[in-house]
Structure 1
Amino acid sequence: MTVVAVGKGPRVGFRYIQTALLFFAIVCAYFSRINVGIAIVAMTNADSTNPDFHEFQWSNAEKQLIISSFYWGYALTQLPGGYLALKFGSRLTALISILGSSILSMVTPVSVLSGEWQAFMAIRILQGLFQGMIFPSMYGHLAKWAPKNERTLHGALANSGIECGTVFAMGVSGLIAASDIGWPGISYVSGGFGLVWAVLWFIFGESSPQTSKFISEEERKYIESTQLEDDQNLKKLPTPWAAIFTSVPFLALLCVRCTQAWGFSTMMSETPLYMNEVLKFDIKKNALFSALPYLAMWIMSYIYVFLSELLIKKEVMSLSLMRKTFSSIASIIPAIAFIGLGFVDDAHAAIAVTLIVINVGVNSSNTIGSALNALDLAPNFSSVLMGIINGIANIIPIITPIVVAGIVGEEEDDRSKWQIVFAISAAIFLIGNTVYCFFGKTDVQPWNAPKDSDDKEKNETKEKNSD
């Protein structure tokens, strides 16, 4: 391949608009995905929120099924989403993903009032089916739009929408539920936010710089020049399925993403219930304190972005060492916090909140540590890799609420049961990180641009020239 020397390029350009749109897409997705934890508390305990709205009498098992049901659909469309993004472009797949999910949010209140928890489960499954396409679309979009030397920066900025969306879901949802619009307002606000994003994306979103109407010629050439070395973004390469599933670095990445999913889903989905039952927080305090860790996570995500850029520019660390260091931070410290949390009761609620903040806030380094590793391994197939990873990793959030329900049962205020839940999460964190540190890599893999495809292309070029 031809190596093209490039400078720093345009400091500000339309690629940053694309990253901002991806950021807000993730905010929309997480707002509507995670608000279920607060919504269920409000819907089943009218005394803790606005009592003017209907209260449902759901068992803990039914509540856990509602929480996990989103991921039933979410896991199914990850790989198809990656394939569709590769075939039809990220603009269309991302639009369908957020638009479909937002419409379902808008119809949730009336559906649940008539169909109870079964209707809630059905809507959550459908939302998962739509949202399953968003991350494969995002990674495919980043591979096209982010210059090679800026992928960590743009990827981390876009992924910080996870923390922002979670803050909105955890913090704003409780306030909405306690307001005049009650728990139905949670669905209306999150759905409306998604509809606004869909309009902006339809206008400004574009699958690649080559098809964009707004990008400058200077910026387009800069992005293309940084991708000529090892990427073939505009060429239709066959997906190397066998090479992907036998790649040790990819399997190590898959392992750590699954273990991260276990720890994060345990903290994300079960924190409102733990705070309500064990720490005895009411819905307003529950929402605010549930959001606090994710506010810390959001802030820390930008600190990690700054540190990663500094470490790379100053050549303090190689990309591989940086990824593994940040992954270890995201696993070891949260594992310790999980263990400590299991020994804190409502008499020491401040310590519990501090441990939760440390757990979630520090864990945001996993984005730079491992989440962006798919872009390192194979930029051409990053949407497919994320489809596989998210498809498998998001089976985990289906399992964790079922495991929690099996361990805790109806004794939701029994701290000893939660100790077991948190100890399991800590062990899983450590196992996944160990595998990644030993076997993970950041080198572009040979199957990113298969040799036979290159040879075939060269032969076709020679034939055309000879004609």
Structure 2
Amino acid sequence: MTAEVVKGPTIGIRHLQALLIFLLITVLYIGRINVGVSVVAMTNAESTNQHFPEYDWTSTEISYILSSFFWGYILTQFLGGYLGRRFGAKRVMFWGTFGSAAFSLATPFCIPWGGWIAYCIVRVIQGFFQGLIFPCIHQHLARWSPLKERNRLGALSHTGIECGNVMAMFISGMIAKGPLGWPGIFYISAAVGFAWCILWFFFATDSPKQSRFVSDAECQYIETSLQHNENYNAKKIPVPWGAILVSAPFWALLVVRCAEAWGLSTLQAQIPSYMNGVLEMDMQSNAIYSALPFFAMWFMSYVYLISADILLGKKVLTLTALRKLFNSFACWIPAATLIGIGFLDKEQTTLAIVLMTVSVGVNSGATIGSSLNTLDLSPNHAGILMGVINTASNVPPLLTPLLVGAVVTDNGDRSQWQIIFIVASVIFFVGNCHFLLKGTAISQPWDAEDFLLPKYMENTPPNAALESNGRTQQIKKS
């Protein structure tokens, strides 16, 4: 006798959920990253549109603006994970996006009234709303992704990061140069946020069972694959904080995410200023070339995704080995290229752009390399883990603009930028070394619903799990 294998449709509502999350992340990153372009436009009207106000902000004040989003963002990461478990991911993600879009719309009216301080306050509030969302994204993916498709759906969803970066860098520059001027950057960002909220309201649900669009076959496929469909209830499963806080794989993930965030935030927020100052590019060229590295990042994210499917499908690598390999590409290659960028000037603009494109492009491997690792370590507590890790990993984006503001007193001074790039390179390298030593893609014993810390410490050896056929099997001792 042979057992019937439950299979869902090749394309189903689970893919629609992944598409919606892709669009959400794109919208969020447009609202987050457009500050780098908007600040250049607001302080240099001659290179954009002279019909709109120009502000004489110091480099220190600009560094506060670039950093301020993360002041609010880090405050609500853990809260987002809790609210997602308490009220459902759908509601939290809807209101988080709606609030961020509303304050984006208010930005052009606040800046003429309160200057850079008002801009900082609005950015803090936007960060507060967006901080609620990412822990819920991982919770939503954990509920909708069959185990065999988790890596694929998660990676596809997170390519919205690269898409959002491209849109923020390229389209924002074009908008600032056009008839809408720099206020148009915020109007467009708000409009796409509100449009996403409408789609999410009608098509999203917290689980397959709640969806009126999902077929019975697809619902059964997802729930059966997860193996905890009847027992899983994120509201009732206690969080094993003690076991998490002494878990080496958890700390390895936290460290590498912080290191990756430091390097990438240096590139995201500072590329427009570096190109405008050291390479002496005008705003239109700045927008095009600032976006080029993120086009490469977007393209490379699909290269990594296809490669991961092939390597896992043919069992060339285990999931743990795959994550470490891709994360090494994502951290160590940018570490080398960033140092090279610091030694180039306006006479070597082409080489500088090539190195920046390579640096940002290969960094997209961090999505598969480490960003999705919370789903590996603990599907039951993915939202909480993401909240804790995102809180920590968003301290670096708060600090990097402040470091740039303190070190780079003259945007055109290449030697000052060298310090910024070397610091980012060292952090990239060291953070990934720790992940190679302690990281894993094996589900941890403390993910079990009946987990008891004293029993675990007495009876269960570290990493008591096996990887098999793309899914994880717990080893339990009687």
TM-score range, shorter chain: over 0.9
Tell me: CA distance 1:39–1:452, structure 2 relative to 1, closer, same or farther (3 Å). Answer: closer
Instruction: Give the corresponding residue for 2:396.
Output: 396
Q: Which ranges in structure 2 are unaligned for 5 or more consecutive residues?
A: 454-478
Contact 2:62–2:405 under 8 Å retained in 1? no
Instruction: Give the corresponding residue for 2:350.
Output: 350
Aligned residue runs from structure 1 range 323-342, under 5 A: 323-342=323-342
CA shift for structure 1 position 7: 4.9
Aligned residue runs from structure 1 range 198-237, under 5 A: 198-228=197-227, 232-234=231-233, 236-237=236-237
2:350 maps to 1:320:
no
Tell me: CA distance 1:389–1:232, structure 2 relative to 1, closer, same or farther (3 Å). Answer: farther
Tell me: CA distance 1:6–1:381, structure 2 relative to 1, closer, same or farther (3 Å). Answer: farther
1:42 is aligned with what amino acid? A
Aligned residue runs from structure 1 range 10-409, under 5 A: 10-228=9-227, 232-234=231-233, 236-409=236-409
Aligned residues: 450
For residues 111 and 157 of structure 2, what CA distance do their matches in structure 1 show?
33
TM-score (structure 1 length as normaliser): 0.94
For residues 347 and 452 of structure 2, what CA distance do their matches in structure 1 show?
65
For residues 190 and 220 of structure 2, what CA distance do their matches in structure 1 show?
38
For residues 325 and 243 of structure 1, what CA distance do their matches in structure 2 show?
27
Instruction: Give the corresponding residue for 1:461.
Output: none
> Secondary structure at 1:10's aligned position in 2?
coil
Tell me: CA distance 1:230–1:202, structure 2 relative to 1, closer, same or farther (3 Å). Answer: closer
> Secondary structure at 1:286's aligned position in 2?
helix
Structure 1 stretches of 4+ with a deviation exceeding 6 A read none
2:353 is aligned with what amino acid? V
Contact 1:232–1:449 under 8 Å retained in 2? no
> Secondary structure at 2:294's aligned position in 1?
helix
CA shift for structure 1 position 9: 2.9
Instruction: Give the corresponding residue for 1:423.
Output: 422
CA shift for structure 1 position 243: 1.3
CA shift for structure 1 position 420: 1.1
CA shift for structure 1 position 137: 0.9
CA shift for structure 1 position 233: 3.1
For residues 5 and 80 of structure 1, what CA distance do their matches in structure 2 show?
42
TM-score (structure 2 length as normaliser): 0.92
Could you report, residue by residue, the CA deviation over 1:391-428 in whole angstroms, capped at 9, with x for unpaired residues?
1110111111111112112x111101111111111110
> Secondary structure at 1:183's aligned position in 2?
helix
Q: Which ranges in structure 1 are unaligned for 5 or more consecutive residues?
A: 455-467
> Secondary structure at 2:381's aligned position in 1?
helix
Contact 2:6–2:220 under 8 Å retained in 1? no
For residues 439 and 272 of structure 2, what CA distance do their matches in structure 1 show?
34
Contact 1:231–1:379 under 8 Å retained in 2? no
Contact 1:231–1:380 under 8 Å retained in 2? no
Could you report, residue by residue, the CA deviation over 1:337-376 in whole angstroms, capped at 9, with x for unpaired residues?
1011011100010000000000000000000000000000
CA shift for structure 1 position 118: 0.6
For residues 96 and 82 of structure 1, what CA distance do their matches in structure 2 show?
14
- Aligned Cα root-mean-square deviation (Å): 1.5
